[in-house]
Chains A and B, each alone.
Chain A
Amino acid sequence: MTSQDTFDRLVARFPGFELEYVEGKDPAVLVKAENLVALAQYLRDDEECDYCSSITGVDYPEHFEVVYHLYSMKNEGGPVILKVRAERENPHVPSVTSIWRGANWQEREVWDLMGIRFDGHPDLRRVLLWEGYQGHPLRKDFPGPQDEYTFS
C-alpha cells in the first residue's frame, strides 16, 4: 500500500517528475518511463525498498502498463507500488536490473508473455517459451496458437 506520506515525500524530492497518485484498493504511484530509473534508485537507497517483489505487465486497450511491487525487508514495510505506462505500438520501458538484480528474469518474463521491451536489460531473451515462438501469448490480441490442435 503506497501511503500518501510516501507519495508526498517522493513529490517533494522530485518536483519535476509529474508523479501521479493512483487511487484504488492498492494505491500506486504513476511515473513516467524516463524518470523510472532515478525514482527506483532513490526508493532503494533512501526509502530502503530493497526487495523488488514482482514485475507485472498489464494490457489495457489504450496502453500497456508495467507494475512494480517494492518491499522493504529492513523496515518490514511496503509495498510501494509503481506503475509505468508504455504505448501500444512497440512498447519500451527502461530496465531496473541495474538496481534490483532480481528484476532480471521478471523482466524477461514480461517480455516473453506481454512483449514489452526493457531498454538496458543485459540479456533480454524469452524465459518460459522457446526462441522462435510467434507472438506474445498474454496480450489480449493474441490470436491463439495456430497449430493443428486448435479448435474453434
Chain B
Amino acid sequence: MTQEDLVPPELKRNVFVAPVDWIYNIGRAGSVWPIMFGLACCAFEMIVTLTSRFDLSRFGMEFMRASPRQSELMIVSGTVTKKMAPQVVRLYDQMPEPKYVMAMGACAISGGPFKDGYNVVPGIDKYLPVDVYVPGCPPRPESLLDGAIKLHQKIRSETILTSPWYRKGVDRELPVPELGPWGLVLPKGEESE
C-alpha cells in the first residue's frame, strides 16, 4: 500500500501526504537564525554576507538575534582567544535546542596562524560540537553561503526519531572551561574530548 492509497478518494485533490520529517525539516531549515556576535576579521565577511549583494536572507537566515535564547545557529567567526572561550561556550549553553555551530575561518577551525600563540584556542571544536567548517582566511561570502547550504542539507537529513534533541537522558550542558595559569582548563571532574 503506497502513501497515495491512504487518502480516501474524495480527498485526493485536497490532501498531500509526506513524511513528518520532511515538512518539519523544511520549516526548520528555512529559518535558521544566527546569533549576532563576531570575534575577529571573519565577522566582517559575515556582515557583508548579510547585505544585499550576497543576501543571506535568501536562505531565511537574515535575523541575527542579539540574544542566544532566540537563535539556533552560532557562527564562530574568527579567532577565539582563551579569555573569550568560556563566554563562547556559555553562550552556546544558553541557546535553545536544536542548535548548530558553524566554525568560520582558519582560526575558529584550528587556531590558524595563531595556533602556537599564548592566548589562542587551537580550534573551537575542542569545546563545541561543530557542524559545518567553512575554511578560508577569511572565507569569502560565497563560502559562507555554501556553508549555510551545507547546514541546510544537514538539517534536512535529520529525523525526529534519531536526532539527539528529542531524546531524554542526554547531558545537554557542555562544561564551561576555566582560566588556569597557562590557558584553559576544564572544570574538575570533566574530561577533554
| Residues of A near any B CB (own CB < 8 A) | 128-130, 132-134, 137, 142, 144-151
Contact = CB atoms under 8 A, between A and B. Distances in A.
A146 B185 CA distance: 12
Interface in B99-137: 116, 118-119, 121-122, 126
Nearest to A134: B181
Interface residues of B, number: 15
A135 B176 CA distance: 24
Contact of B83 (A129, A145, A151): A129
Contact of A129 (B119, B184, B192): B119
B179 A134 contact: no
A31 B83 CA distance: 37
Given A144-B116, A145-B118, A148-B192, A133 B126 contact: no
Interface string B172-188: 00000001111111000
Interface of B: 83, 116, 118-119, 121-122, 126, 179-185, 192
A130 B82 CA distance: 10
Most chain B CB atoms below 10 A, which of A134, A145, A146? A145
Given A130-B179, A134-B182, A149 B83 contact: no
A132 B179 contact: yes
6 contacts: A129-B83, A129-B119, A134-B182, A137-B118, A145-B183, A147-B180
Given A129-B83, A133-B181, A149 B118 contact: no
A130 B116 contact: no
Contacts of A150: 116
A69 B161 CA distance: 66
Nearest to B119: A129
Given A137-B119, A142-B118, A147 B182 contact: yes
Given A128-B119, A144-B118, A147-B185, 20 more contacts: A128-B83, A130-B83, A132-B179, A132-B180, A132-B181, A133-B181, A133-B182, A137-B118, A137-B119, A145-B182, A145-B183, A146-B182, A147-B180, A147-B182, A147-B183, A147-B184, A149-B126, A149-B183, A150-B116, A151-B116
Nearest to B118: A137
A142 B118 CA distance: 10
Contacts of B179: 130, 132-133
Most A C-beta atoms less than 10 A away, residue of B118, B126, B181, B185 = B118
A133 B168 CA distance: 40
A20 to B, nearest CB: 34
Contacts of B184: 147
